[in-house]
């Protein structure tokens, strides 16, 4: 992400989990005390954004959150609990909003997926009202990445994350009087030179505005796609996720040339 940030001139922040809070240094996305606004880890991460904003000149309308694995699940939580802070979310090998409420449910969601995305989408919509009391209501742009060979987090979670946010955005549209909200899906295939094949699903509103996107990378495991070099949690054979996430945020934004802050919530081990 640093290379993309340097080229496009935006700030990127990497919060790290404390070993005291989680022995694997992962965000505790599966615990109820870390799934609400003004409480637990979401409030800490939101406070980091506030601290950066007090130090640097940042466009408040171009703040985004991205996360991988536990960070991906936490990114979904942050998008729902702080819609007044984040204008878009990227979920890489993560999960839908409140995919679990206990450790055992967390492992089950990672293996088999979480609860009904339509129900979770409704819950996320209701939770977002706490943030919309402080800002203009808006739909949430979402981009999802997942590897089909991921052994730690089943890629069904990618489908569920998109389905959850489609429901949430549908509720937001209905509240704004857009009863006929409908997304058009476009599918394109690609392959990285000497690397993996992938499918990209684009979800467009009636005015052809890009609202959501899903990438499924064939053969990619539990690793960041398009990493500059091979590593435990990075695979250069996949499409450049960092560049595509930034491209998506710019394309889905109202003002694609404005400066921005991207907060990437990730596992410290990566």
232-267 residue pLDDT tens? 999 999 999 999 999 999 999 854 433 345 555 444
**Residue with token string 């993309």:** 4
Whether residue 46 is contained in a domain is answered as yes
Helices (H) and strands (E) counted in the chain, each on its own, are 7, 10
Q: 144-191, pLDDT tens digit by residue?
A: 999 999 999 999 999 999 999 999 999 999 987 887 789 999 999 999
Distance CA 175, CA 162 (A): 20
Average pLDDT over residues 71-90: 97
Residues contacting 230, CB < 8 A, separation 6+: 236
Alpha helices (runs of H) in the chain, residue ranges in sequence order = 2-8, 40-55, 70-81, 103-112, 117-132, 156-175, 241-252
Whether residue 118 is contained in a domain is answered as yes
Whether residue 270 is contained in a domain is answered as no
Count: domains in the chain: 1
Residue 78 has pLDDT above 70, yes or no: yes
Q: What is the pLDDT of residue 258?
A: 32
Whether residue 180 is contained in a domain is answered as yes
**Residue with token string 């536990």:** 70
What pTM was estimated for this model as a whole? Answer: 0.92
Rg of the chain taking only CA atoms, in angstroms: 17
Q: Say how many residues make up the chain.
A: 270
CATH code of 228's domain: 3.40.50
**Residue with token string 């409030």:** 43
Q: What is the pLDDT of residue 265?
A: 47
Residues contacting 55, CB < 8 A, separation 6+: none
Average pLDDT over residues 64-70: 97
Distance CA 220, CA 195 (A): 10
Q: What is the pLDDT of residue 266?
A: 45
Q: 105-149, pLDDT tens digit by residue?
A: 999 999 999 999 999 999 999 999 888 776 777 899 999 999 999
Give the domain extent around 135.
Answer: 2-265
Whether residue 174 is contained in a domain is answered as yes
Enclosing H/E stretch for 184: strand 184-191
Q: What is the pLDDT of residue 263?
A: 53
Mean pLDDT of all residues belonging to the chain:
92
Strands 210-217 and 197-204: antiparallel
């Amino acid at each position: 992400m640093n290379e993309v940030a340097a080229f496009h001139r935006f700030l990127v922040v990497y919060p790290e989990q404390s070993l005291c809070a989680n022995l694997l240094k992962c965000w505790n996305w599966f615990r109820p005390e870390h799934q609400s606004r003004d409480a637990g880890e979401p409030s800490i991460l939101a406070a980091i954004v506030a601290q950066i904003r007090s130090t640097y000149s940042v466009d408040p309308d171009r703040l985004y959150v991205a996360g991988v694995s536990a960070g991906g699940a936490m990114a979904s939580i942050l998008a729902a609990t702080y819609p007044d802070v984040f204008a878009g979310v990227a979920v890489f090998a993560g999960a839908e909003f409140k995919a679990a409420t206990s450790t055992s449910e967390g492992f089950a969601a990672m293996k088999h997926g979480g609860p009904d995305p339509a129900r979770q989408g409704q819950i996320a919509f209701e939770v977002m009202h706490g943030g919309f009391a402080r800002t203009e209501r808006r739909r949430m742009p979402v981009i999802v990445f997942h590897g089909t060979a991921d052994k730690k987090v089943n890629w069904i979670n990618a489908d569920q994350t998109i389905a959850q946010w489609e429901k949430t955005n549908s509720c937001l549209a209905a509240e704004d009087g857009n009863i006929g909200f409908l997304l058009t899906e476009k599918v394109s295939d690609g392959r990285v030179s000497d690397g993996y094949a992938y499918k990209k699903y684009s979800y467009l509103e009636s005015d052809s505005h890009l609202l959501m996107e899903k990438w499924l990378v064939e053969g990619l495991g539990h690793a960041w796609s398009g990493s500059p070099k091979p590593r435990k949690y990075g695979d250069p054979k996949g499409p450049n996720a960092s560049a595509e996430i930034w491209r998506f945020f710019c394309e889905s934004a109202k003002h694609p040339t404005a400066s921005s802050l991207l907060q990437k919530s990730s596992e410290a081990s990566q």
